[in-house]
Amino acid sequence: MSGYYYVRPLDAASDEQPIQCRARGIFKKRGESPLVGDVVEFEETENGEGAVNSISARSSELIRPPVANIDLAVLVFSVTEPTLNLQLLDKFLVHIEHARIDAVLCLSKQDLTEEGEETEEARTALNDVLRIYEPIGYEVLVTSSKQGEGTSALSERLKGHLAVFAGQSGVGKSSLLNALVPGLTLETNEISNRLGRGKHTTRHVELIDIGGGYVADTPGFSQLDFAELGIEELGSCFREMQQLSASCKFRGCTHLHEPDCAVRAALEQGEIAPSRYNNYEIFMAEMKEKKRRY
């Protein structure tokens, strides 16, 4: 409902309804507003609702989708249908790294096979992710909602975290969340039982109580445009490039044309995946073009 925020007290039972609150006028004067994931101080009002009085300092903040205090991003990608898109995966990772949030790569829909056997496409996609992303420090989980594979490991990984699930439409995020939370019945682009309330389309960012942690199922990651990222920051959002940049001859090296560039040297020696560097070049060109136009 417009103008309302739904607040759950820290000591509330898992099945307890959140309290419907409005934000104090002071926030509007400051140009601030509570975000999903905020820790707030509130007081109950006479009509059984509440008023948000203050917002605690945030450990992280994402602009699109607007969520705060996320400390883990689960990037859900399918090994087949839709075909794994490494460029989109790297774009997600750039945004997550820029926000200084830890990331887990979750490969879903292992059940999409021909006659019960793993397809060549699925094997290639899985091997590519393991080969490229595990060596640079990303945790990879393989899951199947239908077969229950990997869901226990993912559930354990989410405990104690305020996490965000993100990925292409149709990769199985809703099915995965349904498998994690007994009684949760997410439908395509719809959420039910979120914090005890009814169905809403995923235009609204809300938290799902998964027992021991929360997940924000978000639609906004489908439109990533680097609006909040500066050109000079892009290299630091590629973990392997950030580690090598101190060895570049020039401070502020763009890793595109400068001599004695440690990143390009590592690329030539096979120490950086060509797909990662190619996507870096594509993103840099995209950012430069937008800067030129605007």
pLDDT digits (tens, 9 = 90+) for 126-135: 899 999 999 9
pLDDT band at 2 (very low <50, low <70, confident <90, very high): low
Q: Report the C-alpha gap between 121 and 82 in whole angstroms.
A: 11
109 assigned to a ligand binding site = yes
168 is in an annotated binding site: yes
The reported pTM is 0.83
255 is in an annotated binding site: yes
Instruction: Say whether 170 counts as a known binding-site residue.
Output: yes
Ranges in the chain annotated CATH 1.10.40.50: 234-293
Report the distance separating Cα 74 and Cα 98, nearest Å.
15
pLDDT digits (tens, 9 = 90+) for 148-173: 778 889 999 999 999 988 877 777 77
Percent of the chain with pLDDT over 70: 84
Q: Which residues contact 278 (CB under 8 A, 6 or more apart)?
A: none
212-247 pLDDT, tens per residue? 889 986 665 555 667 778 888 999 999 999 999 999
Residue 247 assigned as binding residue:
no
- Does residue 186 have a pLDDT over 70? no
Chain centre distance of CA 208:
15
The answer to whether 111 is annotated as binding is yes
169 annotated to bind ligand: yes
* Helices 274-293 and 86-98: angle between axes, nearest 10 degrees: 70
| Residue ranges matching CATH 2.40.50.140 in the chain | 4-55
Question: Mean pLDDT across the stretch 13-19?
Answer: 80
Residues 258-287 have a mean pLDDT of 96
In the chain, list all ranges with CATH 3.40.50.300: 61-217
253 is in an annotated binding site: yes
Distance in angstroms (rounded) separating the CA atoms of residues 143 and 147: 8
Classify domain 61-217 at the CATH topology level: Rossmann fold (3.40.50)
Q: How many C-alpha atoms does 160 have within 13 Å on its Cβ side?
A: 2
> Top-level CATH class of 234-293?
mainly alpha
Nearest alpha-carbon partner for 17 in 45, 48, 42, 46: 48
Q: Give the integer Cα–Cα distance in Å for 112 and 216.
A: 26
Q: Which residues contact 230 (CB under 8 A, 6 or more apart)?
A: none
Percentage of residues in the chain with pLDDT exceeding 90? Answer: 44
Q: Tell me if 74 sits within 8 A of 85, measured CB to CB.
A: no
Pairwise CA distance, residues 200 & 204, whole Å:
7
Instruction: Measure the CA–CA gap between 96 and 98, rounded to whole angstroms.
Output: 5
Return the pLDDT at 277. Answer: 98
CATH of range 4-55; options 1.20.58.1180, 3.60.10.10, 2.40.50.140, 1.10.1740.10: 2.40.50.140
Q: Is 106 annotated as a binding residue?
A: no
